[in-house]
Amino acid sequence: MTTVLTANQLKGRAIGSLFFIGFGTLWLMLGLYLRERLSIGAVVGVVLVAAGLTAAALKLMNQATRFPRVTEDARRKRMFHWINGGQWVAMFLVLTTLNKLHLEVYGVTAIAAIVAVHLFPLAWLFQNKMHYATGGTLLLWLTGIVFFVPAQHLQGMTALGTGVILWLSAAIMLGLHSLTARRVPLDKSEGVVKRNFSWAVREHR
């Protein structure tokens, strides 16, 4: 399927990856702290990997400048803010309820689940199928640990797994789009860049 590749799309994927990298780093730090593994070596390792992923995201943003820009959709921006706002409201309500029920041990897992769920409308809004995969993987991970991990280890395992999944998603998204952007030539006669995304996926599995 041939689609149009624009500067907006590439920059959007880079910014989305930066969010995944940043929040993934915070989740990993929280997981290491809760698991009592927050050593200097672990922190340095996390920071180095985060720095490498960030560099890749910034490179993709730089690549985006070679591509044509289209007018931003104001409606899409408003919907994005509504989805993000709904996420924070849901977190507040769920945490308040869990605290009243004395189920605070499930708070971190509940937050991660809300993060996962909010990726589904974002996937539809930005036509980014990777968000479906990320949200689905997070929900599978959280469901598994709720059933098989002891309550005293639940928060730490939730945080570590969530951080790793967000990092992996960022890395895959950056890898696919960076490689595609390098391989696809500019079509100056039409003012757009065409790409075959299915071809790119087959080539770089």
How confident is the model at residue 195, as a pLDDT?
42
Buried b (16+ CB within 10 A) or exposed e, 149-176: beeeebbbbbbbbbbebbbebbbebbeb
CB 4 within 8 A of CB 67: no
How confident is the model at residue 203, as a pLDDT?
38
Enumerate residue ranges in the chain where pLDDT < 70: 1-4, 183-205
How confident is the model at residue 205, as a pLDDT?
38
* pTM across the whole model: 0.85
Residue 202 CA: distances (Å) to CA of 175, 199, 205: 13, 5, 6
How confident is the model at residue 111, as a pLDDT?
97
pLDDT, tens only, 113-126: 999 999 999 999 98
pLDDT, tens only, 1-29: 344 578 888 999 999 999 999 999 999 99
pLDDT, tens only, 139-152: 999 999 999 999 99
